[in-house]
């Protein structure tokens, strides 16, 4: 056997060009072992790559076995176009062993650093090839790779290793003069390479281009590396596969960060030829699917423009920048919204990874099981109803767990109407654990390693995707119920944004009562709602500003709907603050006199102001009288009365002065008008329940018989006196 050969393939993380080159190099070299930069604890997981259920984008997830999994979990994501993934795939299909050779996650966790986080590292180290490309005037490193590395090396002599030799040489120059504080990682890698070359004849190492010079022969003496690695602490870690998405690949800060266009990379990797043409055809398809007219002629012109731009910018090949400019100018008519759409659908892409259902130990599932155990709350197959008393710590935790799982689309518990109905401390649930939930938990594991962490990520994502104010305000409530302080700020931010952009005051009025109640009862759960208070106050301000426009010029149906909203807001505002109530009544008072107010609302406002003591009885009486004057159409008058007395007959029954007001108004109607008004009155009073109508009638008749005696004087009452001592006893306020 000859001298063992080690081939170093320096790659760009997530670079499709590198991925293709790696695949070609592996075909040519046919090594006996493949070493890959990555956590060695993942070695046993490589076999899963053969499983058809494991489809990229996926990520390797490492998390400490004990302690806070959420705070420490680290991800190594791979797309179809990642060189590491291609190397893994090649190795498992050719039954060649794979080893990960980076510093173990166990050591890096123990050192307190996120093993996958390279975001603190300067950009040259993180993406040296990207930096080389931008130094050469390219803003798309992949086009640079294709143009410079591929076209000028491999095609010349057909040697698949040539690009990597070129890269190694370039990196040697780039790294000159920089001191590596990757010393430990590279020492570990060197040791693994030394170990591998003892056992195998041909070794291929796939690692970030940055590390190549440090791993090139001649390696420094092994003793030196041993010293570097001596005595490093370790913690216990677990690793597993989790599904990933292109969207998260784009926003990921960490290992392989800066992949802003995974969809484009996927295209570069998978398109067999005519990259630009195929891409623009796909763009056209996306736009057509949205009903936007895009013809083949458009695509032709876009391709021409992309090529002309590349020439103008002195680049041999059009890259993503050129293609996007051409898309904007030709296919999207300069409309940024459409460009955004293309960006979301294609450039980033909506590809979602999959992992087999039997993947071992998804941390979220473990966390869920541990939480269920801690709360003595095991899942059961049958349906079960459970009432939780939120004053008890354990029940409050259970409630949070159920709400969080609902956010993660694991509807283990469904809230049901509490038939007990004894205060806000009670919460009733129907529990039913279905086996499919296990799969849902795996799917949700991409959001985080623990239930609260995953629910937080999910809530933030939902807030970004929500379209209407209603959706966001419901989300605010769900966040509070699930107790997700991490997501709360972001969701409130989304709420405040939607609120500012919503031109319809009605939507704001729909959202306010719910939020006010949330504020009120948030205290029950001991959540911090100070910021929600601010947002709700702003919401009230916006309602007040737009109130006049919202309540005028409405037809009957709209006025009726608005009256419901006004009532809902009116009952919710006192929950906010004294000051808010005053401001709200000011706003109502400001519009109450307007002539273009629908009758229903006019009456309602007069009533609200009267009840709040803002209008004295005389004014109300005058307005009541004015409604039936000749200038007011009868329908308007009827609606006014309806709005005024709405709320059922009981109010009239108990508020005697009010009843007298209505009564004297009725008596004041001229005989000639009475026939006209009668049907309208019947419509209003006919809506009251029969017992109320009867009681009102009796009350009025009594006044008549007593010849309009003054209202029952408030004072001692014989039978009342009998009860008073007991009441005093109950209240503990002895009469001295």
Partner 1 sequence: MTDVVRRHAEAEYATELALLAAGDDRPKPPGWKLSPQAVVTYLLGDGDVITPKYIGPRRLMEVAVATLATDRALLLLGVPGTAKTWVSEHLAAAISGDSTLMVQGTAGTPEEAIRYGWNYARLLAEGPTRAALVDSPVMKAMAGGGIARVEELTRIPSDVQDSLITVLSEKVLPIPELGQEVAARKGFNVIATANDRDRGVNELSSALRRRFNTVVLPVPADAEQEIDIVSRRVADLGRALELPDLPPAYEEIRRVVTVFRELRAGVTEDGRTRLKSPSGTMSTAEAISVLVNGVVLATHFGDGVLRAGDVAAGIVGAVVKDPVSDAVVWQEYLETVVRERDGWRDFYRAARSGE
Q: Which residues in this chain contact partner 1 in the complex, by CB under 8 A? A: 293, 295, 297-298, 301, 304-305, 308-309, 311-314, 321, 325-326, 328-330, 332-336, 496-497, 499-501, 503, 538, 541-542, 545-546, 549
Smaller CB separation from partner 1, 299 or 368: 299
Q: What is the 3-state secondary structure (H, E, C) of 50-77?
A: HCCCCECCEEEEEEECCCCHHHHCEEEE
CB of 591 to partner 1, least distance (A): 13
Smaller CB separation from partner 1, 297 or 722: 297
d(CA 306, CA 285): 18
Query: What residues are paired with 388 via a beta bridge?
Result: 427
Smaller CB separation from partner 1, 196 or 472: 472
Contact 355, 243 (CB under 8 A): yes
CB of 524 to partner 1, least distance (A): 30
d(CA 83, CA 10): 10
d(CA 283, CA 299): 9
Smaller CB separation from partner 1, 280 or 659: 280
Smaller CB separation from partner 1, 304 or 419: 304
d(CA 86, CA 73): 24
Give me the sign of the Cα torsion angle 683, 687, 690, 694: negative
Q: What is the 3-state secondary structure (H, E, C) of 516-576?
A: HHHHHHHHHHCCCCHHHHHHHHHHHHHHHHHHHHHHCCCCHHHHHHHHHHHHHHHHHHHHC
CB of 279 to partner 1, least distance (A): 17
What is the edge-to-edge ordering of all strands in the sheet holding 58-64?
74-78, 58-64, 237-243
- The runs of H, that is alpha helices, within 128-161 are 128-135, 141-144, 155-157
CB of 502 to partner 1, least distance (A): 9
Question: CA–CA distance from 495 to each of 491, 524, 569 (Å)?
Answer: 6, 23, 18
Smaller CB separation from partner 1, 394 or 545: 545
Token pair of 326 as six digits:
């051409």
Nearest to 408 by CA among 435, 380, 362, 439: 439
Contact 431, 386 (CB under 8 A): yes
CB hemisphere CA count around 470 (13 angstroms): 5
CB of 569 to partner 1, least distance (A): 18
Smaller CB separation from partner 1, 21 or 320: 320
d(CA 484, CA 7): 49
d(CA 736, CA 718): 21
CB of 547 to partner 1, least distance (A): 10
Smaller CB separation from partner 1, 75 or 547: 547
CB of 464 to partner 1, least distance (A): 14
CB of 140 to partner 1, least distance (A): 14
Contact 91, 97 (CB under 8 A): yes
d(CA 405, CA 237): 25
What's the residue count for the chain? Answer: 736
CB of 336 to partner 1, least distance (A): 7
Smaller CB separation from partner 1, 313 or 693: 313
Q: 3-state class of 204 per DSSP?
A: strand
CB of 490 to partner 1, least distance (A): 13
Smaller CB separation from partner 1, 501 or 530: 501
Q: Which run of H or E residues covers position 386? A: strand 384-389
CB of 499 to partner 1, least distance (A): 8
Smaller CB separation from partner 1, 542 or 692: 542
Contact 637, 677 (CB under 8 A): yes
Q: Which run of H or E residues covers position 10? A: strand 5-11
Query: What residues are paired with 240 via a beta bridge?
Result: 61
**Cis before 218 (ω within 30):** yes
CB of 541 to partner 1, least distance (A): 6
CB of 549 to partner 1, least distance (A): 6
CB of 98 to partner 1, least distance (A): 43
Q: What are phi and psi of 239, to 5 degrees?
A: -130, 150
Smaller CB separation from partner 1, 91 or 466: 466
Smaller CB separation from partner 1, 6 or 326: 326
Smaller CB separation from partner 1, 334 or 421: 334
């Amino acid at each position: 056997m000859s001298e063992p050969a080690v081939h170093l393939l320096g790659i760009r993380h997530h670079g499709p060009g590198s991925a293709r080159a790696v695949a070609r190099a592996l075909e040519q070299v046919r090594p006996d072992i493949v070493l890959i930069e990555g956590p060695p604890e993942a070695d046993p997981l490589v076999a899963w790559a053969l499983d058809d259920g494991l489809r990229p984008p996926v990520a390797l997830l490492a998390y400490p076995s004990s302690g806070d999994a959420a705070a420490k979990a680290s991800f190594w994501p791979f797309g179809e176009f990642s060189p590491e993934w291609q190397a893994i795939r090649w190795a498992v299909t050719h039954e060649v062993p794979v080893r990960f050779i980076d510093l173990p996650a166990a050591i890096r966790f123990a050192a307190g650093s996120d093993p996958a986080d390279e975001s603190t590292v300067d950009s040259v180290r993180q993406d040296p090839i990207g930096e080389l490309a931008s130094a050469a005037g390219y803003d798309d490193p992949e086009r640079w790779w294709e143009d410079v590395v591929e076209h000028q090396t491999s095609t010349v002599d057909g040697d698949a290793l040539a690009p990597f030799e070129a890269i190694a040489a370039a990196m040697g120059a780039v790294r000159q003069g920089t001191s590596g504080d990757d010393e430990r990682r590279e020492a570990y890698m060197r040791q693994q390479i030394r170990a591998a070359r003892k056992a195998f004849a041909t070794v291929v190492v796939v690692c970030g281009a940055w590390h190549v010079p440090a791993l090139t022969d001649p390696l420094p003496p092994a003793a030196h590396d041993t010293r570097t690695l001596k005595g490093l602490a370790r913690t216990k870690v677990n690793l597993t596969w989790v599904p990933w998405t292109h969207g998260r690949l784009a926003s990921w800060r960490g290992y392989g960060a800066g992949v802003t266009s995974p969809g484009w990379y996927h295209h570069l990797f998978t398109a067999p030829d005519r990259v630009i043409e195929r891409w623009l055809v796909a763009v056209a398809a996306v736009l057509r699917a949205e009903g936007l007219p895009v013809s083949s002629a458009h695509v032709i012109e876009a391709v021409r423009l992309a090529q002309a731009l590349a020439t103008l910018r002195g680049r041999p090949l059009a890259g993503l920048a050129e293609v996007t400019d051409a898309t904007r100018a030709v296919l999207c008519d300069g409309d940024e919204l459409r460009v955004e759409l293309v960006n979301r659908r294609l450039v980033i892409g909506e590809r979602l990874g999959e992992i087999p259902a039997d993947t071992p130990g998804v941390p979220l599932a473990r966390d869920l099981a541990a939480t269920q155990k801690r709360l003595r709350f095991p899942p059961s197959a049958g349906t079960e109803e459970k009432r939780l008393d939120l004053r008890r710590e354990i029940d409050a935790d259970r409630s949070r767990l159920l709400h969080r799982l609902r956010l993660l689309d694991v509807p283990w518990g469904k809230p049901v109407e509490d038939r007990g109905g004894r205060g806000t401390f009670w919460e009733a649930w129907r529990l039913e654990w279905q086996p499919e939930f296990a799969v849902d938990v795996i799917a949700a594991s991409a959001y985080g390693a623990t239930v609260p962490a995953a629910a937080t990520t999910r809530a933030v994502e939902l807030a970004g995707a929500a379209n209407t104010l209603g959706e966001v305000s419901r989300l605010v409530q769900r966040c509070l119920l699930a107790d997700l302080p991490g997501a709360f700020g972001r969701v409130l931010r989304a709420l405040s944004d939607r609120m500012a952009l919503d031109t319809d005051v009605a939507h704001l009025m729909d959202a306010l009562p719910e939020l006010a109640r949330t504020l009120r009862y948030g205290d029950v759960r001991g959540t911090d709602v100070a910021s929600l208070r601010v947002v709700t106050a702003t919401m009230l301000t916006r309602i007040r500003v737009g109130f006049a426009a919202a309540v005028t010029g409405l037809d009957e149906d709209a006025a009726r709907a608005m009256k419901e909203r006004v009532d809902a807001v009116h009952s919710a505002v006192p929950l906010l603050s004294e000051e808010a109530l005053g401001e709200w009544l000011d706003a109502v008072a400001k519009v109450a006199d307007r002539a273009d107010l629908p009758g229903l609302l006019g009456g309602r406002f007069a009533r609200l102001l009267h009840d709040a003591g803002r209008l004295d009885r005389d004014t109300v009486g005058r307005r009541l009288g004015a409604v039936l004057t000749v200038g007011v159409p009868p329908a308007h008058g009827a609606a006014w009365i309806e709005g005024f007395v709405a709320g059922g007959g009981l109010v009239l029954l108990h508020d005697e002065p009010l009843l007298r007001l209505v009564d004297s108004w009725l008596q004041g109607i001229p005989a000639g008008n009475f026939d006209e008004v009668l049907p309208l009155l019947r419509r209003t009073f006919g809506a009251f329940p029969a017992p109320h109508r009867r009681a009102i009638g009796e009350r009025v008749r009594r006044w008549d018989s007593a010849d309009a005696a003054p209202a029952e004087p408030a004072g001692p009452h014989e039978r009342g006196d009998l009860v008073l001592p007991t009441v005093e006893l109950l209240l503990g306020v002895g009469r001295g």
